[in-house]
Structure 1
Amino acid sequence: MPKSRIRKKADYTPPPAAKQAQVIKLGNRSWVAPVMLAMFLIGLAWIVTFYVTDTRLPVEALGNWNIVVGFGFIAAGFGVSTQWK
C-alpha cells in the first residue's frame, strides 16, 4: 500500500517591524486629574450642603433629588477618571 504524503506547515514568522502597528499617542491629559477631583469635591459639597442646610440649599425645588445631583457629579468624576493614564 502506498504511503500518504506528510503535509508540513510552515513555521510562523512574525511580520517585519516596519509593518507592525504604530502606537497612537494621544494628546496631553493633564486636565484629567483636576477635573476628576473637582467633580468629586463638587458632588461631596452638594450633598453636605443639602444636609447641613436642612434641605433648603443648594436647590430647594429639587427636594431629595439634590442627593441624586450630588451623586451625579461624583459619578461624572469616575467617568472622567477612565481617561487618566
Structure 2
Amino acid sequence: MPKSKVRKKTVYTPPPRKQTAQAARAAGPSSPIYVGVMLGFMLLGLVWLVVNYLAGDKIGFMIALGGDGTGFNYNFVVGFALIIIGLLMTMKWR
C-alpha cells in the first residue's frame, strides 16, 4: 500500500503587539491616604448608625433627619451610604 505524503505545516507566529503608553505603565499600590479615606468612610458610617441607635433622639441634626420616630429615618440612609461609599472604594484599592 502506498504511503501518503506528509504535508509540512507552517509554524504559527503571533502578530506583533503594539504597546500603548497606558498599557506599558504598571499600576502601583494605592496611596495610604486613599486607604485611610476608604476605611474612614466605612467607620464613619458604622459610628453614625451606632450613635443613631444609642443617642439619636438627643442630637438635634439626627432628630431633624427623622430620628423622632414619626416618619422615615434618613439616618439609616446616611449611615449605610457612607459604608457603601467605602465599600465601593475597595474596588479601586491596589
In structure 2, list runs of 5 or more residues that go unmatched. 1-7, 67-72
Alpha-carbon displacement from aligned partner over 1:35-73 (angstroms, at most 9, x marks no partner): 111001100010001111143435211111101100000
Amino acid at match of 2:24: V
TM-score (norm 2): 0.64
In the superposition, relative to structure 1, how do residues 12 and 32 fare at CA in structure 2: closer, same or farther (>3 Å)? farther
Identity score, percent: 42
TM-score (norm 1): 0.69
Tell whether the 8 Å contact from 2:56 to 2:62 is kept in structure 1 after alignment.
no
Distance 1:61 1:9 in 2: 78
Shift of 1:25: 3.2
Q: Which residue of 2 aligns with 1:15?
A: 15
Residue-pair matches, total = 77
In structure 1, list runs of 5 or more residues that go unmatched. 1-7
Distance 1:20 1:10 in 2: 27
Tell whether the 8 Å contact from 2:56 to 2:63 is kept in structure 1 after alignment.
no
Tell whether the 8 Å contact from 2:42 to 2:82 is kept in structure 1 after alignment.
yes
Describe how 1:1-85 pairs up with structure 2 within 5 A: 11-16=11-16, 19-20=18-19, 22-26=23-27, 29-30=30-31, 31-57=33-59, 59-63=62-66, 64-85=73-94
Q: What secondary structure, in the 3-state scheme, does the structure 2 residue paired with 1:13 have? A: coil
RMSD of aligned Cα (Å): 2.7
Structure that is richer in helix per residue: 2
